[in-house]
Amino acid sequence: MFQSAAKTLSVSRWILLNVRHYCKKKTASTLRVSEALSATEFGEHVKVRGWVRSVRPQKANLFLHVNDGSSLQSLQVFADAQLNDSLLTFGSAVEVTGVLKKSPHHKQSVELEADKIHVVGKCNPLDFPFKIKERHGLEYIRQFPHLRCRTNAFSSLLRIRSEATAAIHSYFKENGFVHIHTPIITSNDCEGAGELFQVEPSWPKTEEQENFFSVPAFLTVSGQLHLEVMSGAFSRVYTFGPTFRAENSQSRRHLAEFYMVEAELSFTQSIEDLTQVMEDMFRSATEHVLAHCAEDVDLFHKHVTPGHRGTLDSMMKKKFPMITYSEAIDILNHSTQKFVFPTNWGCDLQTEHEKYLVKHCGNIPVFVTDYPYDLKPFYARDNQDRPRHTAAAVDLLVPGVGELCGGSLREERLDLLSARLEKVGLEDTYSWYLDLRRFGSVPHGGFGLGFERFLQCILGVDNIKDVIPFARFSHSCVL
């Protein structure tokens, strides 16, 4: 194009034009797609880089959509058909230089009129597992863990996850919590769950060698006990990190590695000190995500999980009700529904029970408090009630997911705690934990929230593997 133009121009004029072009190119500022889309001043010469999400060559013109992950929406690029290139395919990477213009189309407010399109990285459409204009389901894209971020649905999920993470950190920061990095490798198992991963150096161990850490070491199942350490000096602490279960399950509900948000509050008066923070955090993080990722959330609510928006909206409108475990058992026993698992007082609530209770309460989140003492771990605070002996524990059950949060007041009374630990032969193992009660012990409590379940709850996504960047579960640790 430049060459043919040059023929009709004097050499000096041609040089001048090209110098101008060069200068323009030099000063063309590089914009992210989201910045270009929100431009209010037009006519500027800019550069945009990203991946091609659609190509429409027409007789005279060429239309592209370019996305760089900064927003769900792509930037429409409009060019002379001569700028077309056989390498301009779905999935290829491009650098486009041109002028930002107000778009005449109602679907977008801005478009880029290109004077140069450079294919940075090609993408063979036959080999690329995602096809132009096809809507691939979550299950299909799950087969390509190294590529699925290149689909609209999964890139939206990742932006939502990033924003939800930031929202949770903001909530705690604004409310005076200190962020603690609780350890991943630990020599205690917190809940005595048994489903632990053990950690050892990968090099072969000789007979005489002792453990790397001198003691058996595991991947954490909860940062609670370590947060409790901090609760002896800070009235509010939290952690947000990976936790692990060696659960032999490939279900929609379980991962071997998942993220937990855990908080611990000192000087608690009652279980309501916890439920208030749980509900506040849920609402604050959800509102933040809805406000900052509206487009991305809409993609899910419109195309992936239609109908879920109504459920979410009604969750956000009403205060979360609170019932005791004993009331929950009464509700289940008065139900006409037949349950697989027993509903006697003293039995653990199963997912089927949790789902029924949520429905019964109007399909909104519900707190269940005061569980049977014998169902709860050693650290749960004894309510010292009889004949139905309960502990000051609380779960938050939510639509679709079941248990989202679990928490309790912790037994801060040295005599009660050491008696319970002695009973199970753990008073030596947890002598450090008893120390926390020996020196300036205070009433305290805390809770954990399953972060993936929180995302499922907001988005209505059924399978937990679809809300984490890289899913780990039994027989699967790809990449």
d(CA 296, CA 156): 5
- Tell me whether strands 110-121 and 178-179 are parallel, antiparallel or unpaired: unpaired
Smallest gap, in angstroms, from Cβ of residue 364 to a second copy? 28
What is the SS3 assignment for 184? coil
Nearer to a second copy, 209 or 337 (CB): 209
Q: Exposure of 414 by Cβ count < 10 A (0-12 exposed, 13-18 middle, 19+ buried)?
A: middle
Nearer to a second copy, 58 or 206 (CB): 206
Smallest gap, in angstroms, from Cβ of residue 363 to a second copy? 30
- Tell me whether strands 110-121 and 75-80 are parallel, antiparallel or unpaired: parallel
Smallest gap, in angstroms, from Cβ of residue 374 to a second copy? 24
Smallest gap, in angstroms, from Cβ of residue 242 to a second copy? 5
DSSP output for 278-333: HHHHHHHHHHHHHHHSHHHHHHIIIIISTTHHHHHHHHHHSPPPEEEHHHHHHHHH
Nearer to a second copy, 301 or 437 (CB): 437
Smallest gap, in angstroms, from Cβ of residue 46 to a second copy? 14
- How many C-alpha atoms does 300 have within 13 Å on its Cβ side? 29
d(CA 93, CA 311): 39
Nearer to a second copy, 225 or 398 (CB): 225
Nearer to a second copy, 217 or 304 (CB): 217
Smallest gap, in angstroms, from Cβ of residue 376 to a second copy? 22
d(CA 199, CA 181): 19
Nearer to a second copy, 150 or 453 (CB): 150
Smallest gap, in angstroms, from Cβ of residue 281 to a second copy? 16
Query: How many residues make up the chain in this entry?
Result: 479
Angle formed at CA 464 by CA 460 and CA 466, multiple of 5 degrees: 80
d(CA 264, CA 446): 4
Smallest gap, in angstroms, from Cβ of residue 67 to a second copy? 8
Smallest gap, in angstroms, from Cβ of residue 201 to a second copy? 4
Nearer to a second copy, 136 or 159 (CB): 159
What is the SS3 assignment for 427? coil
Instruction: Find out whether the peptide bond into 104 is cis, omega within 30 degrees of 0.
Output: no
Nearer to a second copy, 227 or 393 (CB): 227
Q: Exposure of 234 by Cβ count < 10 A (0-12 exposed, 13-18 middle, 19+ buried)?
A: middle
Strand (E) or helix (H) holding 78: strand 75-80
Nearer to a second copy, 211 or 335 (CB): 211
